[in-house]
């Protein structure tokens, strides 16, 4: 088996250890033929760098907040916590079983 080509197949950035882009790179498990068919600019690259992975198909960042998402806030967590029914007759050990959560 050949060594993987440590290049982002979207932007051509080197993603080898020591490049500064090693952490967060994502292996692209598609075969070379599929990457060519998808018109990847650098189809020989076996990875997608973290920056390219965070973009959607329009070149915009996929995780940009658009203001319409409530998100994970303390207020939302407390609202959900208050909706969970609490039974005062059960202790945490009852919920975890007789082993106390240990196997």
Neighbours of 88 (CB within 10 A): 5
* Two tokens, residue 2: 């050949």
Residue-wise pLDDT tens for the chain (103 aa)?
689 999 999 999 999 999 999 999 999 999 999 999 999 999 999 999 999 998 865 555 554 444 444 555 677 667 766 666 655 555 555 545 555 555 5
Dist. CA 43–CA 8, nearest whole Å: 9
Per-residue pLDDT tens digits for 78-93 = 776 666 665 555 555 5
- The separation between CA 70 and the C-alpha centre of its own chain, rounded to angstroms, equals 20
Collapsing DSSP to helix, strand or coil, 86 comes out as coil
pTM over 0.75: no
Where are the domains positioned within the chain? 1-62
Please give the Cα distance from 41 to 13 (Å, whole number).
11
Q: What angle do CA 91, 92, 95 make, to 5 degrees?
A: 95
Q: What Å distances lie between residue 99 and 8, 87, 90, 91, 102, CA to CA?
A: 48, 20, 15, 13, 5
């Amino acid at each position: 088996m050949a060594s993987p080509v440590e290049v982002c197949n979207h932007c051509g950035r080197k993603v080898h250890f020591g490049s500064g882009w090693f952490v967060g790179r994502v292996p692209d498990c598609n075969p070379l033929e599929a990457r060519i068919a998808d018109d990847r600019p650098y189809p020989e690259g076996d990875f997608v760098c973290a920056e390219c992975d965070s973009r959607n198909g329009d070149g915009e960042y996929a995780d940009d907040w658009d203001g319409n998402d409530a998100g994970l806030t303390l207020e939302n967590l407390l609202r959900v916590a208050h909706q969970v029914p609490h039974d005062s007759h059960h202790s945490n050990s009852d919920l975890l079983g007789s082993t106390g959560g240990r196997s």
